[in-house]
Chain A
């Protein structure tokens, strides 16, 4: 079997067994990127040093040195995560020429596990978007139908894993930015609990919602990456000291007796009929696996989008203030300081980013703060209480990841509200700080991937991964690949 058809855990085994060298492995994926990236635009940049690193790992292996648990495995990183000395743009003109002088904590951890960063993937500018159309570097195309979006904001990471341009990738999720593109591209994507993975080195969009997570073909691969990236980081005050579970070990524990909640409200209004059918089919699979399905209610989640689109822009308006033309960013020509600020931010940010900065600035302004930010924070607490109640009755909550399969490029660009509704099922997990995973179910009749979302209690990623893994033991949807050459679909 060709390398690109193999799962990451199998690739690692072959590398360890000496059946394939890291150099060959990296070269294989670099070749695929070379062939396919022009059409997909999944990568903003390929790492120039990837081959060199692979050779170094092969040398060390030959010398009998002990190597990290991901030794020689190529991995793609969303371009909103800092890799020392490599351009890190967050999909923005503002950071077009910015190379951070430091590694994000997760990059440091991946490097010390001897993974090889193969490139930086495309994304909506500063992670603001659900389609990767808001990138300064142009949109990414969905490999299942290249006239459709891959989802966003981690669209590049999703597309490159779906198209097998990298075995696995890292994304970040503020309101669904890992799960929604995973769903659109037919892969597995995990948003960990808030605080489970360090945010140090993740270019902030909304600090209280952002979380880094794995984007892979299988749940098992996600478990493998989580075992490397999860855990307390003294450099991130919001990272948790909660014990990290052994994500791989619990994968095979049977699901018998596990209680899975289904929120009927989430399976009715606004949901694509086909998506609904496939999700119901998936529920049957979980029943066969021995899980008990129970109905639950999450009454406050209807306000989640509204609360999210206050809180996230408020934090973003402040987080993005540092891009002012003074230090490392793009700087526009100007005659005085104020004009320099105006021109730099006017020219350096795209429209969606500017829109959200304005929304957030407005909502935090004196006289509006109570009505918007404080009220949204209250709604957020109520949503969290909903989940706390629900998790007294069930262990997992199941539903669709997105209301529809991937939409067409340009379809929602003039209608921000329609775009924002793409996140309707995903934002609640960010507001509540709980983990959630998207896994592929049976595709639509036209062959577009559909995703199922499982949400779990805070810091119980192992339960999510275990349920997803066993679902994938029973189904083959996650093994499907888009056919090459990529096609379009009306």
Chain B
């Protein structure tokens, strides 16, 4: 089924439409993000939420919808939702209730989902996203609401074509989800991705969700349409909800694709938001296209009504204050801290902060300890992150404690170790879980006294007359060759000192 053509493609209007440029149109994007809350047990029963267990092993009479079983709210899920809401600057409801969303599906055991219809736990809020360029402005994306609901199970269909039975795994049924809905404030695909990255980072920082997309702990639908300047008018194209977005990249690419598709469809048929219902389209990662799933007319009437098995939740000011008082600094606060108090470039601050709370804490301890935030940033932002990435470790698993790292950097700052030797020491510390002192001992690093240095330089000059001549004839850079050779002859020789001495010897 594809869009019907109202106007013949060769009509004068269509010719006018063809004159409009895509780049002049504006993309309007709103996101609906489902985040799985990091609770031990499900939203309405005591079953575990652990991922990857044997199918249907984490179920009970409540989450399988047995006759007579009743839901009981998990207080922890409420607390995490409030924490998330506060971090997204949302108004927290003082009274919230549960509603049933009725529809039939085999992996929905009760025939309804317990959700929140008209009194979500979190009301309007906003999230600021970092400018994409250093000179740019931060963008404020308004959040319409965030509500709690239970997840459905998983259907596993036979795709072999042999018409075998479908299977259902109810382990996921009843796990708590927070659905966060933005206003249509996002204007580019990159901005959508930036919003999601920042959201994920915040929820990680406040321990609300790990937002692991592979495990389905963060799922996203995007509502997209175009505003196209056309003559004196501004045309809005029909709104499309894109589903099946399994990665940030898919979000970005699908929006880019969908915008282009809508533009071409409009050029073709001239349909506007007033002419066509909202469509649901699925993103296909293989073809990198969206395909029509259903139009709004076919969509179900969910017959929401208050769930009579649950009582309304009253949230006291004191409870909100308590949760608020426990909230630690958010990524944006920490970026500001690193930039303003620690004099990092904003890009560098972003790199550190994007690694999560653990890396920030590590950085702060080292920077404070060695009293040189630039060096701390250089070493942590490059060496440590590279090592963590290569070993696929978290900062908590990193074998070098912040205190040991501080000790190492103090030696570098004092000139006891040069950069290269310092890195050798760090590698040894990581490899053998040892202190800088032990690593220095193991690597045989010891200071070189002045007479040794003089002997070394004389030998270099003796053996490399051709290089010396180059230097004397004005090629200053050639001295690097000699320094390299000096390091091979004695790894402990400080390149700076070697360079200075050579320069002095050659010029005299």
A residues in contact (CB < 8 Å) with B: 81-82, 88, 90, 95, 98, 100-102, 104, 199-204, 206-208, 234-238, 314-315, 317-318, 320-322, 324, 326-328, 337, 341, 361, 364-366, 369, 373
Contact = CB atoms under 8 A, between A and B. Distances in A.
A366 B303 contact: yes
Contacts of B106: 324, 326, 337
Given A95-B67, A322-B65, A207 B308 contact: yes
B183 interface: no
Given A202-B68, A364-B102, A237 B308 contact: no
Interface stretch (B70-78, B232-240, B320-328, B337-345): B70-78
17 contacts: A90-B67, A95-B67, A100-B66, A102-B66, A201-B68, A207-B309, A236-B72, A238-B70, A314-B305, A318-B100, A321-B112, A322-B65, A324-B111, A365-B301, A366-B303, A369-B303, A369-B304
B183 to A, nearest CB: 24
A102 B303 contact: no
Given A81-B68, A365-B301, 9 more contacts: A90-B67, A104-B68, A199-B68, A237-B72, A318-B303, A320-B111, A322-B110, A324-B104, A369-B305
Interface in B271-316: 301, 303-305, 308-311
Nearest to B168: A326
A82 B68 contact: yes
A200 B68 CA distance: 6
Contacts of A101: 61, 66
B69 interface: yes
Interface of B: 61, 64-73, 100, 102, 104, 106, 109-112, 168, 301, 303-305, 308-311
Query: Interface centre among A202, A203, A207, A322, by most B CB within 10 Å?
Result: A322
Looking at chain A's contact residues, the main secondary structure is: loop
Contact of B66 (A199, A324, A328, A361): A328
Contacts of A364: 102, 303-305
A439 to B, nearest CB: 29
Contact of A82 (B67, B112, B310): B67
Contacts of B100: 318
Contacts of A369: 303-305
Contacts of B61: 100-102
A199 B310 CA distance: 12
B28 to A, nearest CB: 26
A134 to B, nearest CB: 17
B311 A238 contact: yes
B308 A321 contact: no
B102 A88 contact: no
B104 A208 contact: no
A366 B104 CA distance: 17
Contact of B311 (A95, A202, A237): A237
Contacts of A203: 67-68
B111 A237 contact: no
A430 B376 CA distance: 70
Given A321-B111, A322-B110, A238 B64 contact: no
A96 to B, nearest CB: 13
Given A237-B310, A324-B111, A327-B109, A318 B305 contact: yes
A100 B64 contact: no
Nearest to A326: B106
Nearest to B100: A318
B301 A366 contact: yes
Contacts of B67: 82, 88, 90, 95, 98, 100, 203-204, 322
Closest 6 CB pairs of A and B: A321-B111, A208-B308, A207-B308, A364-B303, A203-B67, A201-B68
A237 B73 contact: yes
A237 B309 contact: yes
Contacts of A317: 102, 303
Contact of B111 (A235, A318, A328, A373): A318
B70 A318 contact: no
A317 B304 CA distance: 12
A204 B68 contact: yes
A328 B104 CA distance: 16
Query: Interface centre among B65, B106, B303, B311, by most A CB within 10 Å?
Result: B303
A229 to B, nearest CB: 15
Contacts of B72: 234-237
Contacts of A98: 67
A224 B69 CA distance: 26
Query: Interface centre among A236, A321, A373, by most B CB within 10 Å?
Result: A321
A201 B430 CA distance: 58
Contacts of A104: 68
Contacts of B70: 199-200, 235-238
Given A207-B308, A208-B308, A315-B308, A327 B65 contact: yes
A3 to B, nearest CB: 32
A341 B311 CA distance: 31
A321 B104 contact: yes
B303 A322 contact: no
B148 to A, nearest CB: 15
A211 to B, nearest CB: 13
Given A100-B66, A341-B104, A322 B305 contact: no
Query: Interface centre among B102, B309, B311, by most A CB within 10 Å?
Result: B309
Contacts of A326: 106, 109, 168
A341 to B, nearest CB: 6
B104 to A, nearest CB: 6
A100 B112 CA distance: 21
Contact of A318 (B73, B102, B109): B102
A202 B104 CA distance: 23
A235 B100 CA distance: 19
A101 B68 CA distance: 11
Contacts of B68: 81-82, 100, 104, 199-204
B103 to A, nearest CB: 8
A321 B66 contact: no
Contacts of A237: 70-73, 309-311
Contacts of B69: 102, 200-201
Contacts of B301: 365-366
A326 B110 CA distance: 11
A371 to B, nearest CB: 14
